[in-house]
């Protein structure tokens, strides 16, 4: 599965810790991240991560494009709800495109842990079926 990893500045240590803790599960999937987040996770875990631009420079939009093209299966986005973000419209658009295309979106550590355990159990296999059906209808 294709998984996006994103974190606002004040949540970067949280996503690094999450990635270290769940490295074995994450290593079985294709990982994508916004620039700095991907660099920090890769340095801490040695996981292979495709890095996009940083969020404010368009990384959120690049991930959103993958979602719109049915190329992303899950987004783990540790948001900082207490700090204003200069690229808030991009963040809102990313969350909206996840909703439109039925992409699981975890925006905090608690939701991410539920999602990663579900992924490990195989609970997201429906995404493969959904991709095949969508590809056949195009």
73 and 2 in contact (C-beta within 8 Å)?
Answer: yes
Could you give the C-alpha distances from 96 to 12, 25, 44, 104, 131, in angstroms and in order? 22, 27, 30, 12, 19
Locus of tokens 């992924």: 119
Is 60 part of the annotated catalytic residue set? Answer: yes
Taken as a whole, the chain contains a residue count of 138
Query: Which listed residue (9, 60, 73, 123) is catalytic?
Result: 60
**Helices and strands (DSSP H and E) totals, the chain:** 7, 5
**Alpha carbon 24 to chain centroid, angstroms:** 17
Could you give the C-alpha distances from 11 to 92, 124, 127, in angstroms and in order? 17, 25, 28
| Active site residue ranges | 60
């Amino acid at each position: 599965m294709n998984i996006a990893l994103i974190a606002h500045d004040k949540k970067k240590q949280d996503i690094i810790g999450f990635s270290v803790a769940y490295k074995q599960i994450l290593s079985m999937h294709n990982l994508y991240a916004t620039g700095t987040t991907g660099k920090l996770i890769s340095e801490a875990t040695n996981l292979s991560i495709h890095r996009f631009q940083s969020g404010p420079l368009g990384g959120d939009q690049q991930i959103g494009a993958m979602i719109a093209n049915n190329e992303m299966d899950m987004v783990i986005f540790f948001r900082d709800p207490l700090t204003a973000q200069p690229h808030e419209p991009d963040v809102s658009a990313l969350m909206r495109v996840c909703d439109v295309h039925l992409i699981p979106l975890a925006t905090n550590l608690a939701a991410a842990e539920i999602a990663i355990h579900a992924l490990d159990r195989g609970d997201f296999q429906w995404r493969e079926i959904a991709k095949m059906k969508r590809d056949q209808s195009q």
